[in-house]
Homo-oligomer: A and B are copies of this chain.
Amino acid sequence: MKIGELGQIAQCTVETVRYYEKEGLLPQPERTAGNFRSYGPQHLERLRFIRNCRALDMTHGEIRTLLEVMDAPAAGCGRVNALLDEHIGHVDARIAELMQLKQQLGELRHQCQAEQPVAACGILQGLVSMESEARQERHTHLG
């Protein structure tokens, strides 16, 4: 099948497919006489795997590791389990950060209930005077 069909089945754009190939996540397919990429079912399976990992917000680095493990039939899957645990840790950390953020934003929001001149707006005042504690280093790759 050609790249458009592959992308449609795997729910991503052709540009994304080509990008994964350039990144080495997806192997280079055969080409037709007219230089079009020609994919088989094994490419589709691999692309699905990648998209599923991305849907779980894994990085390309994490995905690359998983693919390497899969490509080594003799290997055990301990590394996979560890990677997943770590990734769950990232998600937990980010959730905690966002909950705290939400609380701060809620407090700020309460400081202005109605439209007023900007000089009187409690939100803007809060944003000027807030003391943001030194932002800690990130424990997650999630934005």
Residues of A within 8 A of B (CB): 11, 45, 48-49, 51-53, 55-57, 66, 69-70, 72-78, 80-81, 84-85, 87-88, 91-92, 94-95, 98-99, 101-102, 104-106, 108-109, 112, 115-121, 123-124, 127-128, 130, 132, 134-135, 141-143
Contact = CB atoms under 8 A, between A and B. Distances in A.
A87 B73 contact: no
This chain: how many copies in the complex? Answer: 2
B105 A45 contact: no
Contacts of A99: 95
Given A66-B127, A84-B123, A123-B81, A56 B105 contact: yes
Nearest to A71: B118
A64 B120 CA distance: 19
Contacts of A77: 112, 115-118, 120-121, 123-124
